[in-house]
Structure 1
Amino acid sequence: MMHRLALLRPHPVLMAILTGLVFGALLLLLSGQNPLRAYAEMVRGALAPRNWNNTLVWAVPMIGMTLVAALPLRGGMVNLGGDGQLVIGGFVAAMAAIYLPLPGPLLAAVAILSAMLAAGLYAALAALGQTVLGIPMLISSLLLSYPAIGLTSWAAGFPLRDTATGLAQTLPVPEAARLPMLFGPVSTGVVLMALVAAVVVWADRRSVPGYELRMRGLNARFARYGGVPTARQTVTVMFLSGALAGLTGAIIVLGTHYRFINGALVSPGYTWSGLMAALLAGGEPLMAIAAGFFFAALQTGGFAMQREIQVPRVLSMVLQAIIILFVSLRNGRGAARKEDRS
Structure 2
Amino acid sequence: MITIKVSDRQRITTLRSILTNIASLFAALIAVGVVFLVCGVNPFYAIAQIFSGSFGSIYGFKETVTKAIPLILIGGGLTLAFRAKFWNIGAEGQLLMGALMGTWVGLAWGDSLPSFFLVPAMFAAGFAGGAMCGLIPAILKIKFSINEVISTLMLNYICAEFITMLIVGPWKGKTRFGFPGTDNLPDTALLNVIPGSRIHYATLILAIVSVVILAVIVYRTRFGYEVRVIGENPEAGRYAGIDFFRTSLVIMAISGGLAGFAGVGEVAGIHQYLGYPASVSSGYGFTAIIVAWLAKLNPLLSIISAIFFAGILVGGDAIQISLGLPAATVQIVNGILLVFLIMGDYFLRNQVRLVFGNAVQRKSA
Name the structure 1 match of 2:290. 276
Name the structure 1 match of 2:46. 38
- Verify the 8 A CA contact 1:253 1:260 in the aligned structure 2: yes
- Are 2:138 and 1:118 equivalent residues in the alignment? no
Name the structure 2 match of 1:202. 216
How far the C-alpha of 1:312 sits from its partner, in A, is 4.4
Unaligned 5+ segments in structure 2 are 1-10, 353-365
Question: Match for 1:187: what amino acid?
Answer: H
Question: Match for 1:174: what amino acid?
Answer: P
- Verify the 8 A CA contact 1:20 1:320 in the aligned structure 2: no
SS of residue matched to 1:144: helix
SS of residue matched to 2:113: coil
Give the counterpart of 1:172 among 168, 184, 188: 184
Give the counterpart of 2:167 among 127, 152, 156: 156
What is the total number of aligned residue pairs between the two structures? Answer: 336
Name the structure 2 match of 1:103. 114
For residues 109-153 of structure 1, the C-alpha deviation after alignment (integer angstroms, 9 at most, x for no partner) is 111101111221221121112222332322222223333222221
Question: Match for 2:147: what amino acid?
Answer: P
Counterparts of 1:94 and 1:6, CA distance in 2: 44
Residues 74 and 156 of structure 1, relative CA distance in 2, 3 Å threshold: same
- Are 2:69 and 1:60 equivalent residues in the alignment? yes
Residues 64 and 22 of structure 1, relative CA distance in 2, 3 Å threshold: same
For residues 46-66 of structure 1, the C-alpha deviation after alignment (integer angstroms, 9 at most, x for no partner) is 112231111111111122222
Question: Match for 2:199: what amino acid?
Answer: V
SS of residue matched to 1:77: coil
Give the counterpart of 1:20 among 23, 28, 32: 28
Counterparts of 1:154 and 1:9, CA distance in 2: 46
Question: Which stretch of structure 1 is more off in the superposition, 27-36 or 41-50?
Answer: 27-36
Give the counterpart of 2:193 among 177, 181, 188: 181
Residues 30 and 77 of structure 1, relative CA distance in 2, 3 Å threshold: same
Question: Which stretch of structure 1 is more off in the superposition, 188-197 or 85-94?
Answer: 188-197
Counterparts of 2:140 and 2:306, CA distance in 1: 29
How far the C-alpha of 1:204 sits from its partner, in A, is 1.8
- Are 2:330 and 1:319 equivalent residues in the alignment? no
Counterparts of 2:346 and 2:234, CA distance in 1: 19
How far the C-alpha of 1:86 sits from its partner, in A, is 1.2
How far the C-alpha of 1:302 sits from its partner, in A, is 1.5
How far the C-alpha of 1:306 sits from its partner, in A, is 2.6
Name the structure 2 match of 1:51. 60
- Cα RMSD (Å) of the superposition? 2.5
Unaligned 5+ segments in structure 1 are none
For residues 185-213 of structure 1, the C-alpha deviation after alignment (integer angstroms, 9 at most, x for no partner) is 11122122122122112222222211221
Runs of 4+ with >6 A deviation: none
How far the C-alpha of 1:266 sits from its partner, in A, is 5.9
SS of residue matched to 1:80: coil
SS of residue matched to 1:227: coil
Residues 266 and 177 of structure 1, relative CA distance in 2, 3 Å threshold: closer
- Verify the 8 A CA contact 2:316 2:330 in the aligned structure 1: yes
Larger Rg: 2
- Are 2:255 and 1:244 equivalent residues in the alignment? no
Residues 230 and 69 of structure 1, relative CA distance in 2, 3 Å threshold: same
SS of residue matched to 2:174: coil
For residues 283-316 of structure 1, the C-alpha deviation after alignment (integer angstroms, 9 at most, x for no partner) is 2222333222211111111212232343445444
Report the TM-score when normalising by structure 1.
0.90
Counterparts of 2:279 and 2:98, CA distance in 1: 10
SS of residue matched to 2:180: coil
Residues 31 and 128 of structure 1, relative CA distance in 2, 3 Å threshold: closer
Residues 162 and 35 of structure 1, relative CA distance in 2, 3 Å threshold: same
- Verify the 8 A CA contact 1:90 1:250 in the aligned structure 2: yes
Counterparts of 2:82 and 2:337, CA distance in 1: 18
SS of residue matched to 2:125: helix
Counterparts of 1:129 and 1:8, CA distance in 2: 38
* Percent pairwise identity: 24
